Structure 1
Amino acid sequence: MRPPQTQIDHYHGAGLWGAETIDSRFRANVARAPDRLALADAPNRADFTDGAPYRLTYAELDRAVDRVAALIRARGAGPGDIVVYQLPNIVESVILFLACARAGAIASPLLVQFDGNEIDYVVGKLQPRLFIAGRFKTRDLAANAASICESAGCTLIRVEDLLAGAGAPAPIPPSGRDADDVVTICWTSGTEGRPKGVMRTANNWFVTGRNMVHGAALRDGEVILNIRPLVNMAAIGGSFMSWLATASTLVLHHPLDIGLVIQQIRDERVSVTFMPPAFFVSLLKDERVRAAADLSSLRLMGTGSAAIPAWAIDGIEREFGIEIINFFGSNEGTSLLSTPREVPDPAMRATLFPRFGRPEFDWPTFPPTRDFTTHLVDPDSGEEIEEPKRPGEMRIAGPGIFLGYYGEPEMTKAAFDERGRYRTGDLFEIAGDGDLARFYRFVGRCKDIIVRGGIKIAPAELDDLIAGFDEVVEAAFFGCDDDRLGEIVGVAVVPKPGRTVALDDVIAYLKSRRVAVFKLPQLLLTLDALPRNGLMKVQRDRLRDLARAQEAA
């Protein structure tokens, strides 16, 4: 699984892709700073998974990667084979990522919230050699996947076996794979319903890493606190690649606990972190949180995945002297960011993004390159949009864009337009005339995707699952506004005559189908009929409006 040779030749020739791999960069960091702290578990690790917290230097981490890479090979996963793992944010999740790279295997991490419905699909799609899991809170993730792995002929390994044993592992032969081979398959929801496996190479990831270093002005030896699940762009691109690019210390956190975040920032002397908007609001509005906060080491916080209030950016920067960067990205490689260097005004930075990838503009944090382009296109006519205040779909081309969706050639083809640009499905507009013409403003999505706290959910998948629920004539899922998470899942139902359906009834049915908990609805609309357009497609935007009216009543 590699990009087309013409693309490889082009990006290598332009100096945008190189020969460095994930493993070679990590080995270079080990050689440069063997005694530097590389990884630190959250102090509450024992509360949500097995084992005491680890703290590993780069030299110790390198030995652990050697051991796990040898285990991967010994259990039958060779170069190019797929290894699926389902772990919370613990040091083993980073070790596995690096060990897969060293062994030449393809890493496919899963959210811990994935249940039998999602795991069965992923394992059936990928046919992985290994599935590695442990415990998360009260759920035994390994036991949960056991029958699925047995049916698929996939070897199941419990996470506690990864670092067991004494002595140095035998060296493994080089994998023979390079920076243009796929290294990860991460999972994103799509409008077609089922998750899609996003394939990225080491060179794709290094482009993201460079964007983080330049955009966030990262320094050597940062202390980075990661609170996002290490399964997709937000954490791998934001935290892991920043850590790898700067030989920094990566401090792990899971699940999100604002009090513990404050403690870790103080105790670990964290300098960089990426937080959801809810953290900013809590820090400014909750007197107990603010009183306990020692943020003297923190110089930079990134945010994204949901709208952040302008007053929150302004308040954090004024009160704590911390630089705030607003990110907009996706697993596929969408990469926009708004920093104080391009957008000094916090109110503007909350909603506007520089028009990177446009030859008419230069920006201090983004190196100009003709190989990265952004365009707005009318989703109906296909016309290129140049005038302000007219929404269009963001389309992007460049060396950081993903290779394609695993095993889905038609979906991959549909994801790109006739000029090879990725169709993001996100609506932006040029912000205005004059100086505002230099900026994009996010408008919404032209797809139906729900983004709950940064995790994408396809309502079409849930529509398919609820079709077997006998209490309703029809039902449809949609996104609802939420101040904390950006969006939550809503469901509209048309009950069968004489029946009454409650939200708990829908939740119980979906749980019986072993649906991941983050996909469960939190709001119910009861209707006589679902609103549809002339093509009989459910109007989910209309359902959102009805939910707003219900909440306001």
Structure 2
Amino acid sequence: MMQQSGGAKFWTPTFQTERRDDGTIIMQQEGALSDVARSLPDRLVHWASERPDTVYLAERDENGDWRKLTYAQVLSTVRAIGAALLSHGLGPDRPVLILSENSIDHALLGLASQYVGVPYSPISTAYSLVSTDHAKLKDIVALLKPGLIYASDGAAYGRALDAVGGAGHAVAVSRNPRAGDVLFTDMMNAAPSDDAEAAFAGLTPQSVGKYLFTSGSTGKPKAVINTQEMMMANQAMIADCFRFLADHPPVVVEWAPWNHTAGGNKVFNMVLNNGGTFYIDEGRPTPKGMAASIRNLKEVAPTWYFNVPVAYEMLVSAFEADDALRQSFFSRLDMMMYAGAGMAQHTWDALLRLSRETIGREVLLTTGLGATETGPFTLMCTEQQAQAGNIGVPAKGVTLKLVPNGGKLEARIKSPSIKQGYYGDPDLTAASRDEEGFYRLGDALRPADPDDLSKGFFFDGRTAENFKLATGTWVAVGALRAAMVNHFGGLIRDVVIVGENRDYLGAIVLLNADTGQGSADTLQERLNSFAAGATGSSNRVRRMVVMQSPPDLDKGEMTDKGSINQRAVIANRPELVEAIYAGEAGVFEAR
């Protein structure tokens, strides 16, 4: 049973479990989900009335000082921008497209769009700034047919704006406008209108708030429809789980991009739903980017913190060297969450040790499971674990279905945060559900304790990635990739596992430029020891080749999150697969 951890209060759920004759398991919390708000803009109006002078949004300005806006200031500006959006003829069928990094202007536009019932879609900056052909961005524009495209900087996003130029939409920018562009400051200073207030009054739970695109880790990105009901049901689940949010408003120092459901729905909406403060972190989980994050964390002590494992590893080193940083970070921290990859045990142990040494108790360090299609909040672990990886139990309102598939348990979900499906693709929406209406998550889960499912689950790989060797042995690709990356200790960033219908496994590895690539001898040594620790053919990688050119975003080999699309790499680079099985020069073989 999940319960209180340290000084923070969490849920204490109980469960109903059904075990069917075919091995299928159905699991859900007892009791109904409650306190679901009508819309996210309602929460802004609420807090602007209850806490008008509380800082809601903050970011660094060009001088490095914090630019701060209170709830009252945000609401006033949102109403002005909302009026401007309606004056440009935007509505449910003419959405807003946002090409921008996280920023206050980005937040204001997204909130204003929702306030007046105009859907918006924050788009990965990689599709504008990294892509060379802008094909994904063009597809998105063709699908959504936006009435307004916003870019934070007309110069930086100029090539992308030109690529999707033409009639049918206006362009607004905050900096460096081009000829014909609307200045975002003019929209912020527009006069509030009765039409904007009427649009807000007319919001319903079924109003579409945003379209979020999937990352494309196992296929092309898809537009997931997010209604107000879905987003607010997800927030009700979060509030039920993280009971401490009712005791004190969250303070977040956060960099995760808002085009992803974790940063843009879970964290951003959580802060607003609970009247907290969002400090926009301009840092990134890279050696250079962490310097900015560390500066921010020294000045602002978070109560809720999220990052990816590689960033936590860098933070551990910074904490060991800087007592002031460590004291600030842990001083009022309720929990630490990680996602995006597996966390190394030495990082896990160090974070718990540092919290004990700093504040005399362990701060909950945890992870969960979710997807763009699920809102994302689905499973969460709130019981301190001895090791990383437990993703917890279903949230209130979520029904978890586990179906035997290839020797594993495939996870499927029913939830009030899963309703609409994919915009413009009813066939794909229908195919994503099973015969009982459960969404096919595409992940396999393994119970921590098969006799007591309340102990939580471990991620057991993506079912779409798994394959069989020529012997008929199933290979759990996700777990094997994570284990290999962890074993190489930062030398490799990601790995593609090959071997479908072959006699043994091989790997195509992407070296980690941030942490040093290591010598050929070191790579050989790590492959030898990894193979030596294998328990059978399903997890023994016999040969390995280094990917000499980086994965190509435009070819679908890399997602906007920076992770590798396994099947796309295999399809696009058959010569690497053949090199492995031919034993060509440059291929490492375990000895």
Q: Does residue 267 in structure 1 map to residue 283 in structure 2?
A: no
**Contact 1:107–1:185, Cα closer than 8 Å, also in 2:** yes
Report the Cα distance in structure 1 between the residues aligned to 2:151 and 2:188, rounded to whole angstroms.
22
Report the Cα distance in structure 1 between the residues aligned to 2:147 and 2:208, rounded to whole angstroms.
16
Q: Does residue 332 in structure 1 map to residue 338 in structure 2?
A: no
**Contact 1:39–1:57, Cα closer than 8 Å, also in 2:** yes
Alignment counterpart, residue 241 of structure 1, candidates 250, 269, 290: 269
Change (3 A) 1:439 1:108: same
Paired position in structure 2 for 1:386:
none
Paired position in structure 1 for 2:260:
232
Report the Cα distance in structure 1 between the residues aligned to 2:563 and 2:206, rounded to whole angstroms.
34
AA paired with 1:63?
S
Q: Residue 270 of structure 1: CA displacement?
A: 2.1
Alignment counterpart, residue 105 of structure 1, candidates 115, 118, 132: 118
**Contact 1:329–1:336, Cα closer than 8 Å, also in 2:** yes
Paired position in structure 2 for 1:203:
229
Q: How does 1:383-398 map to 2 (within 5 A)?
A: 390-398=407-415
Q: Does residue 154 in structure 1 map to residue 169 in structure 2?
A: yes
Paired position in structure 1 for 2:342:
307
**Contact 1:328–1:335, Cα closer than 8 Å, also in 2:** yes
AA paired with 1:75?
H
Q: Residue 105 of structure 1: CA displacement?
A: 0.3
Deviations 1:310-344 (A, max 9, x none): 4433432332243223122111115344444xx33
**Contact 1:265–1:297, Cα closer than 8 Å, also in 2:** no
Paired position in structure 1 for 2:504:
none
Q: Does residue 71 in structure 1 map to residue 84 in structure 2?
A: yes
Change (3 A) 1:16 1:198: farther
Paired position in structure 2 for 1:135:
153
DSSP-derived class of the 1:54 partner: strand
DSSP-derived class of the 1:317 partner: helix
Paired position in structure 1 for 2:524:
none
AA paired with 2:386?
P
Change (3 A) 1:552 1:329: farther
Change (3 A) 1:188 1:514: closer
TM-score relative to the length of structure 2: 0.68
Deviations 1:33-61 (A, max 9, x none): 00000100135x679xxxx8531011111
AA paired with 1:169?
A
Which structure has more relative contact order (CA 8 Å, sep 6+)? It is 2
Q: Does residue 344 in structure 1 map to residue 384 in structure 2?
A: yes
Paired position in structure 2 for 1:163:
185
TM-score relative to the length of structure 1: 0.73
AA paired with 1:230?
W
Q: Residue 220 of structure 1: CA displacement?
A: 3.4
Report the Cα distance in structure 2 between the residues aligned to 1:482 and 1:99, rounded to whole angstroms.
42
Alignment counterpart, residue 280 of structure 2, candidates 252, 256, 270: 252
Q: Residue 482 of structure 1: CA displacement?
A: 3.9
Change (3 A) 1:424 1:509: closer
DSSP-derived class of the 2:417 partner: coil
AA paired with 1:297?
R
DSSP-derived class of the 1:377 partner: strand
Paired position in structure 1 for 2:441:
424
Higher alpha-carbon deviation: 72-81 or 126-135: 72-81
Aligned-pair Cα RMSD in Å: 4.0
Deviations 1:340-382 (A, max 9, x none): 4xx33332xx2223342xxxxxxxxx54x5xx210111236xx
DSSP-derived class of the 2:166 partner: helix
Report the Cα distance in structure 2 between the residues aligned to 1:447 and 1:55, rounded to whole angstroms.
45
Change (3 A) 1:482 1:140: farther
Q: Residue 502 of structure 1: CA displacement?
A: 10
Higher alpha-carbon deviation: 289-298 or 265-274: 289-298
Alignment counterpart, residue 213 of structure 1, candidates 225, 239, 263: 239
DSSP-derived class of the 2:45 partner: helix
Q: Does residue 323 in structure 1 map to residue 364 in structure 2?
A: yes
Change (3 A) 1:46 1:197: farther
Higher alpha-carbon deviation: 66-75 or 257-266: 257-266
Deviations 1:60-116 (A, max 9, x none): 111221221122112221244311101111111111111001121001001111131
Report the Cα distance in structure 2 between the residues aligned to 1:345 and 1:233, rounded to whole angstroms.
25
**Contact 1:118–1:516, Cα closer than 8 Å, also in 2:** no
Segments of structure 2 that go 5 or more residues without pairing to the other structure are 1-30, 129-133, 176-182, 356-361, 467-480, 499-506, 509-544
Higher alpha-carbon deviation: 126-135 or 185-194: 185-194
Change (3 A) 1:59 1:416: same
AA paired with 2:373?
E
**Contact 1:276–1:304, Cα closer than 8 Å, also in 2:** yes
Deviations 1:488-520 (A, max 9, x none): 3769999xxxxxx99666768959x99969478
Q: Residue 135 of structure 1: CA displacement?
A: 3.1
Report the Cα distance in structure 2 between the residues aligned to 1:208 and 1:485, rounded to whole angstroms.
37
Report the Cα distance in structure 2 between the residues aligned to 1:184 and 1:326, rounded to whole angstroms.
25
Report the Cα distance in structure 2 between the residues aligned to 1:282 and 1:35, rounded to whole angstroms.
35
Report the Cα distance in structure 1 between the residues aligned to 2:191 and 2:340, rounded to whole angstroms.
41
Segments of structure 1 that go 5 or more residues without pairing to the other structure are 1-12, 357-365, 381-389, 450-477, 495-500, 532-541
**Contact 1:84–1:109, Cα closer than 8 Å, also in 2:** yes
Report the Cα distance in structure 1 between the residues aligned to 2:492 and 2:239, rounded to whole angstroms.
27
Q: How does 1:397-546 map to 2 (within 5 A)?
A: 397-435=414-452, 438-448=455-465, 482-483=485-486, 488=494, 518=562, 530=577
Q: Residue 279 of structure 1: CA displacement?
A: 2.5
Task: Report the identity percentage.
Answer: 22
Report the Cα distance in structure 2 between the residues aligned to 1:489 and 1:86, rounded to whole angstroms.
30
Paired position in structure 2 for 1:462:
none
DSSP-derived class of the 2:435 partner: coil
Q: Does residue 377 in structure 1 map to residue 377 in structure 2?
A: no
**Contact 1:336–1:353, Cα closer than 8 Å, also in 2:** no
Paired position in structure 2 for 1:353:
391
Report the Cα distance in structure 2 between the residues aligned to 1:166 and 1:177, rounded to whole angstroms.
22
**Contact 1:215–1:339, Cα closer than 8 Å, also in 2:** no
Paired position in structure 2 for 1:22:
40
Alignment counterpart, residue 88 of structure 1, candidates 101, 106, 113: 101
